[in-house]
Amino acid sequence: MTDPKTKTNEFDSSNIVMFAWKWRKPLAIVSITAAVVAIIFSSPYFIKPRFKSTVVVFPSTTYSVSKALLPQQNVTKSQDVLEFGEEQQADQLLQILHSDEIRQRIIDKYDLMNHYQIKENHPYRVTQLYKKYESNISFRRTEFISVEIKVLDTSPDTAAAIANDIAALLDEVKTRIQRERAEKALKIVEDEYIALKTELKQMEDELTNLRYRGVHDYETQAAALTEQLGQAIITTGAKSDRTLAIQNQLDTLAKYGGLYVSLRDEAKLLQEEFVRVKTKFAQAKVDVNTSLPTVFTVNTAFPAERKTYPLRSLIVVVSFFSALLFTLIIIIVVETIRKNM
């Protein structure tokens, strides 16, 4: 004798196709109805299509124009202006892309509050605006260490324009941040340059004054006058006018020679320091007054020809098979309950 439970199990496993065929009309009606409803509610009237535009950029390793292009002292490796950046530079770009400055400038330029149709009386209108912004505008680092800027919008032209503007703002904001730092560095170097220049001028004036007193080259003069004094004493005597004149010159050297040597040696060291600071000053001015692009743009955005969202065909297919499966399950449950009652 056959167990009823076994019959039920056989029905569930092997006769499911026949069962579905038996109820084909309700299944077809519900599934087709779901597909039609999906077609209607996924239309542009209910869901506005969105178009995608992307920009891909690579970071640059160049931070200082002067270090990259001008000769450097005590530098074993100079920066290559043509070299792509690495993970650290890509992460820096991502941080700048998420900055409030770029977000606010895009919001203001494209009037996104009205463009996203956020009501003025909404209690959290700014929060809603930022959520819309983040859902439509995204940034990511690719596996190739580049940065992708992706923009979705109901207008393909607006999506492309926003993506390109963000890429331009990325370079602009990063350049501005670096220039602000370069300007502070320039002020420090300029102050040091002016101070050294003033101090060096004072030393040169003091040395000039000593030269007027007859001290031109202490070591050479002292040796020459000492030799002349000896010859004058031998030839004309110790009390002669020539001997006394040479002795007066030696007295002047003795009086101002130490100061002359001290000033001369200090001025020499100061001159070397002044040359180094002057070089840094020139390099700092280059960094402030000139700039190189901080990113390499691989491709610019263009208006998309086909929408990215929603995928109506996928919605319709999923709706059709979901309704079919759900209806089949409901019929099986109802039939099982009816037979067991």
Query: pLDDT value at position 85?
Result: 59
Backbone angles phi, psi at 164, to 5 degrees: -65, -40
Question: CA 23, 25, 26, 28 torsion: positive or negative?
Answer: positive
The per-residue DSSP string of 48-111 comes to --BEEEEEEEEEB----HHHHHS--SS-SSPPPTT-B--HHHHHHHHHHHTSHHHHHHHHHHHT
Residues sharing a CB contact under 8 Å with residue 217, sequence separation 6 or more, in sequence order: none
By three-state DSSP, how is residue 226 classified? helix
Which of 130, 83, 75 shows the shortest CA–CA distance to 106? 130
Query: pLDDT value at position 55?
Result: 93
The size of the chain, in residues, is 341
Backbone angles phi, psi at 148, to 5 degrees: -105, 130
For residue 247, give both structure tokens.
């002795």
Tell me how far CA of residue 295 lies from CA of 80, 221, 290, in angstroms: 13, 63, 16
pLDDT means per 10 residues, the chain with 341 residues, are 46 61 81 81 69 90 56 50 68 91 94 89 89 93 90 92 94 86 87 91 88 79 75 75 78 78 87 88 79 79 77 77 85 79 68
Residue 148 DSSP class: E
User: Strand order in 295-299's β-sheet?
Assistant: 137-141, 147-153, 51-59, 295-299
Query: pLDDT value at position 45?
Result: 66
What number of CA atoms fall less than 13 Å from residue 340's CA on the CB side? 10
- C-alpha 193/C-alpha 61 separation (Å) is 29
Q: Do the beta carbons of residue 109 and residue 261 sit within 8 Å?
A: no
Q: In whole angstroms, how large is the CA radius of gyration of the chain? A: 43
Strand 137-141, strand 147-153: pairing: antiparallel
Query: pLDDT value at position 104?
Result: 94
Domain extent listing, the chain = 1-47+310-341, 197-289
Residue 60 DSSP class: B
CB atoms near residue 205 (< 10 Å): 10
Residue 309 DSSP class: B
Q: Is the pTM of this model over 0.85?
A: no
Please confirm whether the linkage preceding 303 is cis (ω < 30° from 0).
no
Tell me how far CA of residue 88 lies from CA of 83, 146, 185, 248, in angstroms: 14, 11, 23, 72
Query: pLDDT value at position 6?
Result: 46
Query: Which residues on adjacent β-strands are paired with residue 58?
Result: 296
Query: pLDDT value at position 69?
Result: 46
